[in-house]
Structure 1
């Protein structure tokens, strides 16, 4: 059964990724056709075509390598400014540019003069190129909204979930405490699962953060009041000192960082929490699923987008560790970059866990939403051949045309984005190498979301 659920999770998340790529390219296709640009291909994936079907002037299909997709639009580059001179050969740089121009315009045919991409106004080209990433953003918003406002998220409450029976870890085989183990303060004082802590040492505790903070700040005999079966019960556990993970004012664990502010990981690739000596009762707080408001959901997505941007900025610094995990047998850190294989494998891991179906669905949808948020942010980088590179070219063309008008100079014409193709080849080479390293790491040393 575990193998079946694992396979199901891998397939579901893989299909979700393909849908995200297809949804992205649909944005390009729909807006390009809306502005009259002839589109010859709409493909999900790269490489060899596995399946395709022509409808009208566009061929729709799926290719072998599932690392994205593309829409081929006629006339992506303006005509060459190089004159035909047989006595002076083109430089290697210019040859690369003209070869790229020829590839861009290979499918241009008589009658296409009014349907070329480069002839569209800059604002229209910006819309076409931004439509793909924006489609990923829309999908991310829909998925996050479904999880956060529909399904809800597990939030801790001030209700006691479990009570630890002894001060040492119970025996793994039986789950029972050793005979000579001391009971925890909670067990000795008679705290029960289901009790709701409403006051600690005279201080009201309306939520779990305040209850946890008050318990951590006290040691020795401490009066607590709990609601139990509709009645208020007063207990006096003898809180002991214990070294526990440090928490911030919101109750979130504080993790250790190095002198450069980067997270520190243990030998198993997990982040190491800071610790502090605090009061210890011996309970865990119960959780319940609560729906977020629209405002809370917007803040969550904004914070996630900022985190995605920071992760993209840190990608180059992750390469040494990623290479070591892929080829040198080093430990793979929990925040290591992952690709299609890694994300799909995590889907299998999630589906195979003994969790309620709603929890597994929420994790899967949240993961897919985060991937779409990454696709939005990454594709908006102002680098060719990414969408952001084409957007930057259209913005620059619009700016220089307006400046020429203000200065009463001739129209400089369309910006020849193909002149930047040699740099785009470098970007593509780096991306391909990075993707290969991630692929190897995802296969031989995968990130495990649930440990």
Structure 2
């Protein structure tokens, strides 16, 4: 059964990844067609064709390796000189003979491949002829679709299912007050009775008010208790449908302070900052509490910031992954992962011994985070990523605006094929990065559940 659950989690993530890729490419396809660009192919995956069907002028299909996707738009770049006339063709043919080597060959190959996408009968329906803002919309459409999907997922999680938090229903009551900093887990003779037990609070009671203040969440109740060490607090609970009034006196306890991010605060020497708070010895039942509709958007923003932070330190993180792969050291659970790594985590989550809803929530969270990663990563301003194409379009717009400002003739469209050598270097680095992460996820994976 555990194996079936593991496979189920893996399949869930693979299907989710496929949908994410499909929507990403749809984000490019729809505006391209709306703007009149001829789109020859819409493919999910790479490698040999698995299945395809031509609908209208576009071939839709799947390929064997589900590691991405693409659409083939006519005329991503301006045509090469060969495509513009015989005289230009002769001049271009004379060029390679004067030298240039590998660089010139790569550029020329890219131009030839680009020329093949331009149908003479659809010469006006090419991408490079679009206004700058339309090119930006087409290229940004893919990442934006991933952002929209992530926002939808996090909204469903936060407002549809809810965020797991303590409720005012009491789940547990401690029998005694354990010494601060002690490793002791059970009460010993002579340990003082916990205030909640002494007050007569029982598991199953629902807190209505503390110290005369109504409470709706366990966090509100905890805040009042922690602010009232040594004070006598009237506590009203609902027990078996009846309201019962009790008297609670929290004892003084030392706890580590927390910073604005909810982490344990430390001083300049790195020591924990301790302060005195009230302690009662009660725990609230956990439940999924729906949040306001805008919470999903807030969570999306936080995730975008976190992934952008990872991206800034990506070289160092990749180095650490490589070191852990060689040494067998523990991986950073917040570090980068390959598709295999994400799939393994999904399998572990699905197979763990936890309520089904809890597992589903974690799986959806992983899928949402994956879409955030696709959004941020694809906006890196380097070809062949979407961000690189956006930069090329914006540069073309700057050149045209400059020429218009000084009343000069419109400049030629930016020829991005000249950047092919750099594009190949970037693609090579992406392949190396993918290989390192893949090997690490196979032989030294991150274990989310320990």
Q: Determine whether 1:115 maps to 2:125.
A: yes
1:106 to 116, 132, 146: 116
> Equivalents in 2 of 1:217, 1:288: separation in Å?
25
Work out whether residues 168 and 181 of structure 1, in 8 Å CA contact, stay in contact via their aligned partners in 2.
Answer: no
Give matches, 1:1-40, under 5 Å. 1-40=1-40
When Rg is computed on C-alpha atoms for both structures, the one with the higher figure is 2
- Aligned partner of 2:85 in structure 1 is none
> Equivalents in 2 of 1:165, 1:104: separation in Å?
76
> Equivalents in 2 of 1:152, 1:34: separation in Å?
38
* Farther-moved stretch of structure 1 (328-337 vs 149-158): 149-158
Q: Determine whether 1:301 maps to 2:293.
A: no
Work out whether residues 166 and 181 of structure 1, in 8 Å CA contact, stay in contact via their aligned partners in 2.
Answer: no
Deviations 1:73-92 (A, max 9, x none): 22212123673326412243
Q: Determine whether 1:147 maps to 2:157.
A: yes
Which SS does the other structure have where 2:121 is aligned? Answer: coil
Work out whether residues 337 and 441 of structure 2, in 8 Å CA contact, stay in contact via their aligned partners in 1.
Answer: yes
> Equivalents in 1 of 2:49, 2:226: separation in Å?
61
In structure 2, the CA distance between the partners of 1:336 and 1:274, relative to structure 1 (3 Å rule), is farther
> Equivalents in 2 of 1:49, 1:16: separation in Å?
21
> Equivalents in 1 of 2:249, 2:167: separation in Å?
20
Give matches, 1:217-228, under 5 Å. 217=227, 223=233, 225-228=235-238
In structure 2, the CA distance between the partners of 1:113 and 1:206, relative to structure 1 (3 Å rule), is closer
Q: Determine whether 1:89 maps to 2:99.
A: yes
Which SS does the other structure have where 1:76 is aligned? Answer: coil
Q: Determine whether 1:192 maps to 2:202.
A: yes
- Aligned partner of 1:388 in structure 2 is 387
Deviations 1:113-151 (A, max 9, x none): 223222222222222111111221222222222222222
Deviations 1:367-420 (A, max 9, x none): 212221221222122211111111111111112112111211111121111222
Which SS does the other structure have where 1:381 is aligned? Answer: coil
Work out whether residues 167 and 181 of structure 1, in 8 Å CA contact, stay in contact via their aligned partners in 2.
Answer: no
Work out whether residues 254 and 274 of structure 1, in 8 Å CA contact, stay in contact via their aligned partners in 2.
Answer: no
- Aligned partner of 1:70 in structure 2 is 70
> Equivalents in 2 of 1:37, 1:443: separation in Å?
42
Which SS does the other structure have where 2:44 is aligned? Answer: strand
In structure 2, the CA distance between the partners of 1:411 and 1:422, relative to structure 1 (3 Å rule), is same
1:359 deviates by 2.9
- Which runs of no fewer than 5 residues in structure 1 stay unpaired? 170-175, 265-271
1:292 deviates by 2.0
- Aligned partner of 1:427 in structure 2 is 426
Which SS does the other structure have where 2:98 is aligned? Answer: coil
1:18 deviates by 0.9
- Aligned partner of 2:258 in structure 1 is 247
- Which runs of no fewer than 5 residues in structure 2 stay unpaired? 82-90, 180-184
Which SS does the other structure have where 1:147 is aligned? Answer: helix
TM-score for both structures, normalised by structure 2? 0.84
> Equivalents in 1 of 2:414, 2:266: separation in Å?
46
Work out whether residues 310 and 335 of structure 2, in 8 Å CA contact, stay in contact via their aligned partners in 1.
Answer: no
In structure 2, the CA distance between the partners of 1:426 and 1:299, relative to structure 1 (3 Å rule), is same
Work out whether residues 159 and 197 of structure 1, in 8 Å CA contact, stay in contact via their aligned partners in 2.
Answer: yes
> Equivalents in 1 of 2:389, 2:237: separation in Å?
62
Which SS does the other structure have where 1:393 is aligned? Answer: helix
Which SS does the other structure have where 2:69 is aligned? Answer: strand
Work out whether residues 22 and 69 of structure 1, in 8 Å CA contact, stay in contact via their aligned partners in 2.
Answer: yes
Which SS does the other structure have where 1:194 is aligned? Answer: coil
- Aligned partner of 1:365 in structure 2 is 364
1:233 deviates by 2.7
Which SS does the other structure have where 2:78 is aligned? Answer: coil
In structure 2, the CA distance between the partners of 1:226 and 1:402, relative to structure 1 (3 Å rule), is same
> Equivalents in 2 of 1:16, 1:161: separation in Å?
36
> Equivalents in 1 of 2:18, 2:272: separation in Å?
36
Deviations 1:300-333 (A, max 9, x none): 3333332332232232231222112323201112
In structure 2, the CA distance between the partners of 1:4 and 1:255, relative to structure 1 (3 Å rule), is farther
Q: Determine whether 1:231 maps to 2:243.
A: yes
> Equivalents in 1 of 2:259, 2:235: separation in Å?
24
